[in-house]
Chains A and B, each alone.
Chain A
Amino acid sequence: MQPIHLAWVDYTILFIYFVFVIAVGWVLKRYMKGSADFFLSGRSMPAWVTGLAFISANLGAQEVIGMAASGAKYGIMTSHFYWVGAIPAMVFLAIFMMPFYYGSKARSVPEYLKLRFDEKTRGFNAISFAVMTVFSSGISMYALARLFEILLGWNFHLSIAISAIVVLVYIFLGGLTSAIYNEVLQFFMIVFGFAPLVFLALKDVGGWGALKEKLIPVATSQGFAPGTWTDSWQHMSSATDNPMGVGWFGMVAGLGFVLSFGYWCTDFLVVQRAMAANSMSAARRTPLIAAVPKMLFPALVILPGMIAIALHVSGGNHFLPLKNGVPDYNMTIPVMLVKYFPSGLLGIGFTALMASFMSGMAGNVTAFNTVWTYDIYQSYLAPGKSDHHYLWMGRWATVGGIILSIGAAYLASAFNNIMDMLQLVFGFVNAPLFATFLLGMFWRRATGHGAFFGLLGGTISAAIFHGLALSEGATAGIKGGWLGQHFTFHSEMGQNFWMAIVAWTSCFGLTILISLATKRNKPDEELKGLVYSLTPKPETAHEPWYKRPVTVGILVLAAAVVLNVIFW
């Protein structure tokens, strides 16, 4: 497609946003007195700030663009990634897991593993996580530069340089606080940048009723039942009945349990935001506050995709650009921004997109510099230095992390396969992780050896399963099946969900078996505050109802159920 030209008013908006982002870092500089200020925001953030940052760290541009693409490709079933694949795990994190993360005073998720299990479990998690964050941040940077090159004709290298410098400056100056504040800013940019898009697109298509009508031919032309794009659960009894190629069990167990709890409850990228809260109560409310917008986001990110495909099919296949004869779903949001937004609002829309790419990078960089400094540098390379020294290290780890991300971005632009391969390997490492945390937090008999070898076994079994399974129509190799094709799935997504189930189950089983066979390495004394049965429950009876995690958690879950029922 032809690059479009932004007007001066659009560039002014983008420029003003950059000025604010950097100014926030500048103002915060004088508050960064010790390493705890830089890495943990001095545990001083109010719940509404950490809550919005928590959801914003997750709402990167790839999420916005990817979910709109899925909305076009799969319809309303994409909402399972929200109402099944996020809300329950967020409530679980708030009620059951936050007391350990926050109460143990661990400074990072790997450090919790060290307190609960042993050094090698922490090392394994810290190193794999650090590598992963650098690559994720690099991929964000690459995606931003690529998109702006196609859409606006910007120079690829210039986009990389600008985004890297802006993120570097504000994190170098203000650390995690700066990242969190900018994530809140970005949250509002995204909401106010995309809400008018949904409004205009919905008006264009003729409202919800007309949209439903127009989505019927989208479903039937691909051989599915008429309501497939607008019913979230009705076409899931078999994997062949829906475009995702996933059955209800694979969805609920693979996405809703293993992948979702693994991400929301153990990924330091999001958990770090809650750890920065100013009290136990605020830390526990963080994921619950985040759950409210998360529940409503399908209207902001999935609905545009559904409208785009409806207009595409009913309007003679012109709405979306074609790529090899099929719609290029990833261009859904960019194309709609250009189509519906006049100059002025277009500046807001692009700034929102730019902001979310940058906060995707910033989130990874802040998680990286913390894990690097506390879990790798302080633990293995230079223990026993002054706090001032670690603050200095954190600043330079930010620079190092960004340089490595730039390297990863160029690697991604040169070898797309390397990125696919790395994401695959991270998938193997992440899939079993939640089993380790679940046993660690709820079973005091789980041992360090059990955790480490269970995790390793889970990772290996994920790799083996991947080697034995393939989705229909795919060729053996990076998509799986490199050990021979023994299981066939209807879609790659189904294959991923089942890989997660296998990895989790083997890690769970192995950890129990090895723990029973090995001696406990920590007595009950040392596990206080780390294991459920040995930790006093946080007292919340004196709080008003809206500050009690259990009460709010139940309300949030009930609201998610209602949404599932409405769009059944």
Chain B
Amino acid sequence: MNFDLRLPIGIMFSLFGAMLAIFGLASSRDSTVLNININLWWGLVLLAFGALMLVFAWRRRKTPPQQK
């Protein structure tokens, strides 16, 4: 099957991460819990994870899929 699950995972988490981070920057007072802007920081974590998945998916695309 020529479908790499890492692609939708990567897109979805990058999107969520970007949304959270921007939301955290825009409303930093409401996003801060226990002195941490948790939306911003966790958004960046999700963005990093999403980007990593996208890199994996992209690298697989460049190398031809091995035939089984």
Contact = CB atoms under 8 A, between A and B. Distances in A.
Interface of A: 9, 12-13, 16-17, 20, 23-24, 27-28, 31, 42, 44, 49, 177, 181, 184-185, 188, 192, 196, 200, 203-204, 278, 340-345, 348
Given A196-B38, A200-B34, A342-B33, A348 B12 contact: no
* Residue in A196, A343, A345 with the greatest tally of chain B CB atoms within 10 Å: A345
B31 to A, nearest CB: 5
Contacts of B16: 13, 16, 348
A28 B19 contact: no
Contacts of A12: 19
A203 B34 contact: yes
Most A C-beta atoms less than 10 A away, residue of B5, B15, B27:
B5
Interface of B: 1, 3, 5, 8-9, 11-13, 15-16, 19-20, 23-24, 27, 30-34, 36, 38-39, 42-43, 45-46, 49, 68
Contacts of B11: 20
13 contacts: A9-B19, A16-B12, A17-B12, A177-B1, A200-B34, A340-B33, A341-B38, A342-B33, A342-B39, A343-B23, A343-B27, A343-B30, A345-B38
Q: By DSSP majority rule, is chain A's interface helix, strand, loop, or mixed?
A: helix
A177 B13 CA distance: 21
Contacts of A24: 8
A20 B13 CA distance: 11
Contacts of B49: 188, 192
Given A20-B12, A344-B19, A345-B38, A181 B30 contact: no
A200 B38 contact: yes
Given A200-B33, A344-B20, A185 B46 contact: no
- The 4 A-B residue pairs with the shortest CB-CB distance, nearest first, are A344-B39, A344-B23, A342-B31, A20-B12
B23 A9 contact: yes
Contacts of A185: 8-9, 12
A188 B38 contact: no
A196 to B, nearest CB: 5
A188 B13 contact: yes
A278 B12 CA distance: 26
B23 to A, nearest CB: 5
A82 to B, nearest CB: 24
A345 B20 contact: yes
Nearest to B53: A188
Nearest to B32: A342
Nearest to B42: A196
A473 B43 CA distance: 49
A345 B1 contact: no
Given A44-B1, A185-B12, A344 B68 contact: no
A344 B12 CA distance: 15
Given A12-B19, A23-B8, A31-B3, A344 B31 contact: yes
Contacts of B31: 342-345
B44 to A, nearest CB: 12
Contacts of B43: 344
Nearest to A188: B9
